[in-house]
Amino acid sequence: MSVVVVGRVAMCLALGAVLVAGCARFDDSASSPFTPEPTFNPADPKPPSNTPPSTTRPSGPCIDPDPAVVATCLDTTGGIIGISEGALVAERRTGRILKVVDPDTPPVEVAKVDVDGSTDGGLSDIALSPTYREDGLMYAYITTGSDNRVVRIGEGGSQKDILTGIPKGQTGNHGALEWATPDQLLVLTGDAGNPGLASTPSSLAGKVLRVDSPAPGASSSIVLSGIGVAGDLCRDGKDSVWITDRTPGEDRLQRLGPDGQVSVGWTWPDRPGVAGCAAAVDGVAVAMTSAKALALATVDENTHAITTAPSLLSQDKYGQLGGATIGPDGSFWVGTVNKTDGQPGPNDDRVVRIPLPQSGGGGGPD
């Protein structure tokens, strides 16, 4: 869940400019990664509206007839972060980071990083600094010509290596970022197509790593080994970080508690292709590629257990889903990954809003 914060700040502010590549940092309305997440079932009798901004759409290239589609004609998406105005979404193969707001506002490129997107890697994930409003820093998990790595991007587009040497393979290059605390960055790494590396202590592949006070040349420690194809990390706003990954035998949703203990939340022996996740204190939403749906798992707030099978939202409606976040309207915002891995439609790839089921059931929108 990381971005180039661009230079000429004083000039851009004087002009009142919005986000453009080569201009100022995006904006001070970007949500802090440590703003408490909403619950999926708020006590407020008037939850955020799930009504799209318009019910009809004009026709034309890159205009989607579905009003729930926030952005169209993107390249294959990677990580996505909800901000106060909309979301920041990564394009995995191009290295672009775009701000998307609503169907009537074209995406704006706010940053671009050099990546090798020839495998399943590229720009996998982005993360705002916990003090972004003050320092304008962001972090990215990227694939280069020689490895996978975490980089920090600052004003003027300056890029610094934070953690390098994560093994690269023909597959298993996807990774993810999430803050456990304001001083601890968690890094989810794939197994680089070699499951044996995931259990090798000397390898950075197939792990959840912790980087304390991330700075150029930082070291890491292993939090969890045995990761297969990396999915995502998502924090629930309270005390848990959830982890998704795919192994040869099953897809998994695991929980990392504040005490460092890891427990299994749910497994899918049918391997639906778990990918991005979005968490709140009472549930976790998991995007799925093969199942072409968003799975919603209810979590007991006291025990953190998931005791009933996750329900599926918007199955077979938007194709394969990758990144997921909670948007500013309280609905889920997800990115599709149809261009490289599925059967793309004329407007793929896209960012789509998926509202919560109004009755708490498993149906979701048609």
- Spell out the per-residue pLDDT of the chain, length 366, in tens: 433 333 322 223 222 222 222 222 334 344 566 655 556 664 443 444 444 444 555 556 788 999 999 999 999 999 999 998 999 999 999 999 999 999 999 999 988 999 999 999 999 999 999 998 898 899 999 999 999 999 998 876 788 999 999 999 999 999 999 999 999 999 999 999 999 999 999 999 999 999 999 999 999 999 999 999 999 999 998 889 999 999 999 999 999 999 999 999 999 999 999 999 999 888 999 999 999 999 999 999 889 999 999 999 999 999 999 999 999 999 999 999 999 877 899 999 999 999 988 644 443 333
Q: What is the Cα–Cα distance from 150 to 322, expressed in whole angstroms?
A: 20
- Whether 215 is in a domain gets the answer yes
- Whether 4 is in a domain gets the answer no
Q: What is the Cα–Cα distance from 77 to 319, expressed in whole angstroms?
A: 13
pTM: 0.86
CATH of the domain at 268: 2.120.10.30
Q: In what order do the strands lie in the sheet with 332-336?
A: 69-71, 351-354, 332-336, 321-326
- Whether 48 is in a domain gets the answer no
- Whether 221 is in a domain gets the answer yes
DSSP state of 361: S
Total number of domains in the chain: 1
Q: What is the Cα–Cα distance from 156 to 358, expressed in whole angstroms?
A: 44
The DSSP bridge pattern shows strands 221-225 and 293-298 to be unpaired
- Whether 2 is in a domain gets the answer no
Q: What is the Cα–Cα distance from 236 to 230, expressed in whole angstroms?
A: 19
- Whether 365 is in a domain gets the answer no
Residue 328 lies in domain: 9-43+64-354
